[in-house]
Structure formats: C-alpha cells, structure tokens
Amino acid sequence: MVCPFDFRVEDPVEQPPDPDRAVGPNRIGRLTPFFTSLQDAGPKMADAALVELDTQNQDANNNIPGIGLPTGFARVRELNIQQLRSLALVRTGASTGARVPGVIESVDGAFHLQFTELGGRTVIFNSVMLYRTTAREGDSGAAVINAADNQIVGLHIGGGSGMGAMIAMDTIIPVLENIQPRGQIVLAN
C-alpha cells in the first residue's frame, strides 16, 4: 500500500506506511496525479499509484528486501496457464515481512475486495490472477516476483485463506499510461 484512500495529490507518502497515518522518517515522496480511483463505481482493472520520490531521499532504491533488485516487468499475458503455474513466485509485504513463496492458481478472474475505508463497499477487480500464498492486511501493493529472473509479475492487491490476488504488470502498465492527471482512469473500448 502506498497511501490511504483519503490522500490527495501532493500529499507526502511513506514506505512502508505507518498504521497511525502520521508521516514519519520513512517518507519517500509525494503522491502524483497519476493513480487509479477505487471510489468510482464499476469494475476496476488496477489499483496503482505513481509516487514522485523526494530529491533529498538519498536512500531510495529499487531493492526489495529479501528478494533483491527487480530486472524488469514480466509479460505474463503471453503465457498459457501451464507456463504460468510453473513460475515460482516470491513476495514480501509490509505485514508479512519475510520472503513469501507463491504459485499461480488461475488467471483472468474477478476478485471482490471489501474496503472498510469505503464504508464497507466491495470493489470488483477484473483480470485478476489468483495465486497460492500467505497474505495479511497491509501487504497490498507488494511486487510479486518471478524468482527465476527477478522480473515483476504483478502487484498484490489482497488475499486470505491461503490465496492472494494480483494484477499483472502487463495489465497495470497500460492502465497507468491512460490515467488522466485528475486521477481518473480512462479505459479504452
């Protein structure tokens, strides 16, 4: 998770975010106008935001603790289900902490996620990949990595009962490229 629901453009962002919502010494930057809105009605393709790093933040880097540096983005939409299930996945999360393994179970599903921050409203995500893993509240936003080549397969958006849900990077990137600066998603027909 990059920031809570009520954050606005230019608000400071920390990583990992503290439960008390006070920006502390782990500030990394500020929220840009390029993020998906979960408050609008209808199914979602992604849950993502771009953060502009603070220029004075000399410690910022792409290293994922326990995993290392990502080597790029995997194009998993080009793979069949057998190839996807053969990928050995790893992830760390703000709540889980340690390196957690995972294996893809299914693709292109709908995932229903209830948000207390939205008054208990359920948001439906389309084109979700489900994977067997251990997940806790607060792990959202963690990169899910192919352990064989350290490419980012997707971003973890939720889970429980031994399953996690992620959105593939080759789904997220086109969505982020089409976001209008006011923070709304424009989906191409």
Q: Which domains does the chain have, with CATH numbers?
A: 12-55 (no CATH), 72-174 (2.40.10.10)
Strands 151-160 and 72-73: parallel
**Cis amide linkage into residue 70, ω under 30° from 0:** no
Per-residue pLDDT tens digits for 115-173: 777 788 888 888 899 999 998 887 888 899 999 999 999 999 888 889 999 999 988 88
Per the listing, tokens 């289900």 go with 81
- Whether residue 59 is predicted with pLDDT greater than 80 in this model: the reply is no
